[in-house]
Amino acid sequence: MSSKAQAVLSYLGILWLLAYFAGKNNRDQFSAFHLRQGLGLTISSFLFVLILSILMAVAPSIAFIFNFFGLLIFILMIVGILHAINNVEKPLPFIGEYFMDKFPFIENKKVN
């Protein structure tokens, strides 16, 4: 799997696993960067959904917040995919800086 394909798939939720395992032997700095950003986005999305689901169970009148965060996550996915397509290593807005050095198991395998 090419580096760019790994980078694009890394932002598509469960397809992150496909990008991680299928491209393991062909990983470079570019794909590793986007795999970290994509995993960070997926984990952040899960945590937001979990927290907002609990809040909505307590106070259903705040359902609009759930819709707002859902739209924000979708926009971050699109931004990440556009960065991957354009060969740009730029962190995602709001959360990307935090995940720059996280997930040490995602490493560069390919030596150029």
Q: Which H, E and C letters describe the chain, residue by residue?
A: CCHHHHHHHCCCCCHHHHHHHHCHHHCCHHHHHHHHHHHHHHHHHHHHHHHHHHHHHHCHHHHHHHHHHHHHHHHHHHHHHHHHHCCCCCCCCCCHHHHCCCCCCCCCCCCC
pLDDT band at 109 (very low <50, low <70, confident <90, very high): low
60 inside domain = yes
Considering only 7-11, 15-19, 22-26, 64-68, which range has the smallest mean pLDDT? 64-68
Mean pLDDT of the chain: 85
61 inside domain = yes
109 inside domain = no
106 inside domain = no
110 inside domain = no
Between residues 59 and 35, which one has the greater pLDDT?
A: 35
9 inside domain = yes
- pLDDT tens-digit series, residues 16-43: 889 889 888 888 888 889 999 999 999 9
Q: What is the pLDDT of residue 9?
A: 92
The count of structural domains within the chain is 1
pTM of the complete model: 0.84
Domain that holds residue 32: 3-99
78 inside domain = yes
Residue 77 in this model has a pLDDT that exceeds 90 = yes
pLDDT band at 83 (very low <50, low <70, confident <90, very high): very high
